[in-house]
Each structure stands twice: as C-alpha cells, then as structure tokens.
Amino acid sequence: MVQIPEHPAPTSTPQYSVPTSADVARLAGVSRATVSYVLNNASAVRISEPTRRRVHQAAKELGYVPHAAARSLRAGHSRMVLMPAPAVPVGPLYSQFFNELQWALSRFDYTVVQYGSVGLQGDEAARAWAELRPVAVLVPGSGLGPQGVAVLKRSGARAVLTLGPERVEGAHALLMDHSVVGRSAGAHLLARGRRRIGVVMPEDPGLDIFAKPRLEGVRQALHGTGATLTEVPLAYEEQSAAQLAARWRALGLDAVFAYNDEYAMLLMRALQDEGIPIPDETAVIGADDLMLGRLLRPRLSTVHIELPSGQELAELVDRAVRDFGAPPGTHEVLGATVLHRASS
C-alpha cells in the first residue's frame, strides 16, 4: 500500500508552535466550541457581539489559520476537486481552459487542486489520488481504467469525470473525440477538390492520443469518396521537415492535414523552401487556430477547436457531485470549425 520512508527529524524546533483553535480559545477566554462558532459564522447559535470581537481579535493576534485536514476529517468530506496534471505538455488552449474551469468551480465553492502524478501508473495513480479523499476527480487524457474509477469511488469520490477520447466504465465522460477535428479537415480538403490527402503524424509518441483520432477522422471523411489517405510521419524539427519536403513530390499528394498549426508551419516552410507552391500544388491545413498561423504567407487555414466553457463544465461537475446516485452520463464536448484562409 503506502510506504512512509523515514525522514530526519527537524534540526531545530520552531520557536512558535502552530496556533490551534484551542490557543485562540485560551487567549480569548472562551471555549473551543465558541471559537469554532464565531470563526465559521455558525447560524445555529447566537454569540454575543463582545465575545465575537474577542475571538476575532485573539485569532488575528495569534495569526490563527484553521487546519484543513482536521476540518475535513471531522466533517467527513471535503470540497476538493482533484485534477491530475496532464503528463503531456499541452498548449495555451488547455491552460486557458483549465484556468477558466478553476475559476468557475471556485464559484461553486470547490477547491481545485492539480496533482502531479508523474511516474505513477494507472491504478497506482488512482490510489494516490484517493488518499486525498477528493469529492470529485477530473481526469484528463486516458490512463484511468475502470479499476481506478472503482478505487476512487470506494474512497468517497462522489464524481469521477474523464476528459478524453473514450468512455470509462463508472465515470462520467466528457468525450473529447478529436476525430471531429480530422473529419472537418478532411471534408474541407475534399470540398476544395483535393483527392490525394496526406496526414502528418507527429513522431512524438506523447501526441498519439490526439494524432490517432485526428487521423481516423480524416479517414472517415474520405471514406467512400475514392480519395486516398497517406500517413506522413514528421518530427518537430526543421531537419525532419526538410527531409520530408525533399521527397514530397514523390508522395504525389495534393493536400495535407498537418496535425496542428505548429506542424503545419514547420511543414509549410519546408515545402516553400523546396519550391512547392501552396496551395496550388499542395493545400495545407492545420488545427488549433494559433494567432501565428495568420502571419504566414499564404495565411494558414486551420481547424478551430472549441472546448467546453469552464462554466458549463463546473456545472456538470457540481451536478454530478450532488446527484451522485445517478448513472454517469456522456457528453460530447469538442467542437470543430474550419477557418478557411489562403493555404487551402
């Protein structure tokens, strides 16, 4: 289970020990109960104004800060929403989404905590999270199995939500099916009259969870149209792009969906250096709608991705927590819109 390694004892004792509510009570000349009532604005009991003042004064004087662990231990539950930090370095899109979510959840009086679980595998990670007894767990990406969900629920988590490509038994699913991105891109390229379509596959294996569904989406869009699909591996390096560009004409493609805008920019530059006219000979489309794509010449077409608003998601979490008897639901939360610019 859990091992507590030994750590050296403090080299010196703190001059002041941490003040507790008992200290506040002593200083104010009241009982611990009264302190608790006052500091929590308990509505069930009425405390006289002078007493309140004395307590507040004493608390301030001592620099008293309540002990969250003790409180939630006593209460039997917490308002902590735990969110494992995604292992893959994610873009600004996600960062912003996360901040928004955090803000929205705090409006519901939840405390959002991002837990770094580097190096832990699957169910082992779930156990580590469960030790914190969060009221809800919001898991990005894949990597949590039904076992993990069960562990969390048995440990009192009232809602487990996954943000990822697939449903997990027992958990609410916020399906972020990236195939819709590929479908949009594929459909767009078809509509532009392209027939021999390449799809960039980043060589960074960490990106597979996004890249594979996007590829699959393109495949779906092309299905039954007679258009061909060619996977094009590419590392996020100039040299890799140059090599690819050198053999580009041999691939015989008239369009390429470049996984995202960054890869698109990398590839586009290499193709242009090779003298391949865009979009005439090869159309290029990216994804993520980065500002920088607009600066290219020709301007980069892209698939704009809509994540759910933090507000919506926070409501979903709150509802799941409150109706935690209800069966877990599934929500499609990824939108995709093609922004047609000059490169396609």
Contacts (CB under 7 A) with DNA, residues 6-65? 18, 20-22, 29-37, 39-40, 42, 44-48, 50-51, 64
Of residues 217-256, which lie at the interface with a copy of itself (CB under 8 A)? Answer: 236-238
Of residues 73-92, which lie at the interface with DNA (CB under 7 A)? Answer: 73-76
Please say which residue, 22 or 246, places its beta carbon nearer to DNA.
Answer: 22
**CB 27, CB 20: distance < 8 Å:** no
Which one of DNA, a copy of itself, none is in contact with 250 (Cβ closer than 5 to 8 A by kind)? none
Whole-number minimum distance, CB 246 to a copy of itself, in Å? Answer: 17
3-state secondary structure of 246: helix
Whole-number minimum distance, CB 332 to a copy of itself, in Å? Answer: 26
Residues 197, 82: Cα–Cα separation, whole Å: 42
Whole-number minimum distance, CB 209 to a copy of itself, in Å? Answer: 17
Residues 94, 33: Cα–Cα separation, whole Å: 44
Assess 269 for contact with a copy of itself (CB under 8 A).
yes
Which one of a copy of itself, DNA, none is in contact with 223 (Cβ closer than 5 to 8 A by kind)? none
Whole-number minimum distance, CB 118 to a copy of itself, in Å? Answer: 5
Residues 55, 24: Cα–Cα separation, whole Å: 7
Burial 137-150 (b: 16+ CB within 10 A, else e): bbbbbebbbeebbb
Assess 154 for contact with a copy of itself (CB under 8 A).
yes
Among 41, 50, 205, 226, binds a copy of itself (CB under 8 A): 41
Query: What secondary structure does DSSP assign to 1-13, as a single string?
Result: -------PPPSS-
HEC letters along 268-302? HHHHHHCCCCCCCCCEEEEECCCHHHHHCCCCCEE
